[in-house]
Structure 1
Amino acid sequence: MLYLIDEPMAEIGCRTAATDGDGIVVLIQDGVLLDPDLDVPTLAVERDVEMRGVTLPERIDTVTYDELIELVVDHEVTSFV
């Protein structure tokens, strides 16, 4: 499952993703300002990171919007945006 997480719904999104051992979290829009401590792969949209001028922790990788589209096509998606 692919979890898209933005700031307003971050708490419930992260709680939900934390219970999915096969999940992938993508921080999007203001979600890139978060620093979730999850045991699932966590990504952040590169353009959103650049626009907000944040530095991500090393455990969070970035994805382009094109890569995000590929992930959305390849996975079932739950949106907390």
Structure 2
Amino acid sequence: MLYLIDEPMADIGLRTAADDPDAAVVLIQDGVFLSPDLGSELYAVEKDVDVRGVDLPDEIERITYGDLIEMIVENEVKNFV
């Protein structure tokens, strides 16, 4: 399952993802300010990271919006944006 997480809905989104052993989390918009402590794959949209001047932890992979679209097409999605 792919989880799209933005800051306003982060608490519930990250709690939901934490219960999913197959979760992949994408931090989008102000969600890039978060540093979730999950055992899941973590991604952040690079344009959102660059616009906000955020330094990401090593465990969060930068992806493009094109990559995100491919991930959305290929996976079931829960949206917390």
What TM bracket, shorter-length normalisation?
A: over 0.9
Query: How far off is 1:58 after superposition?
Result: 0.4
Confirm whether residue 36 of structure 1 aligns to residue 36 of structure 2.
yes
Aligned residues: 81
Partners of 1:19 and 1:40 lie apart in 2 by 10
Query: How far off is 1:63 after superposition?
Result: 0.6
What TM-score results when the alignment is normalised by the length of structure 1?
0.99
Instruction: Kindly report structure 1 stretches of 4+ aligned residues shifted beyond 2 Å.
Output: none
Query: How far off is 1:57 after superposition?
Result: 0.4
Stretches of structure 1 that go unaligned for 5 or more consecutive residues are none
Partners of 2:76 and 2:63 lie apart in 1 by 18
Q: Percent identity?
A: 63
What TM-score results when the alignment is normalised by the length of structure 2?
0.99
Stretches of structure 2 that go unaligned for 5 or more consecutive residues are none
